Amino acid sequence: EVQLVESGGGLVQPGGSLRLSCVASGFPFSSYSMNWVRQAPGKGLEWLSYISSSSSSRYYADSVRGRFTISRDNAKNSLYLQMDSLRDEDTAVYYCAKEGSASYLHHWGQGTLVTVSS
């Protein structure tokens, strides 16, 4: 069974940093591309970032490019999101998502809440 477990969320002040983690199990992690998606309270889904299986390709939404960095450690079956220069509008539940055989988002974690507030 595929499992994705996010952690690292919490309360952070504007301008601060946070690092999210997503630990994967139940599938060959090193063979799949991964993504981060967020959902602000009461709002819709916003795709944030993609990383290929080998980390050779990384893409970002305009809203986070230059502030967020996606990475992975295939030896640890882990995906990361380094979030810097956080803003109030970054408050959201952050999900990691595994791609399927193509680029649809096949499996999702339960999410971790990030609150940016002074």
Interface with another protein (CB under 8 A): 35, 37, 44-47, 50, 57, 59, 61-62, 95, 100, 102-111
CA distance 23 to 34: 11
Distance of closest approach, residue 25 Cβ to another protein, in angstroms: 16
CB hemisphere CA count around 67 (13 angstroms): 16
| CB 9 within 8 Å of CB 113 | yes
Whose tokens are 């601060």? That residue is 16
* Whole-angstrom distance, CA of residue 70 vs CA of residue 87: 18
Compare residues 3 and 17 and give the one whose CB is closer to another protein. Answer: 3
Measured from the CB atom, the residue of 16 and 31 that comes closer to another protein is 31
Question: Rounded to an integer, what distance in angstroms lies between the CA atom of residue 55 and that of residue 17?
Answer: 22
67 or 107: whose CB is closer to another protein? 107
Nearer to another protein, 65 or 76 (CB): 65
| Minimum separation from the CB atom of position 98 to another protein (A) | 10
- Minimum CB distance to another protein, residue 14 (Å): 26
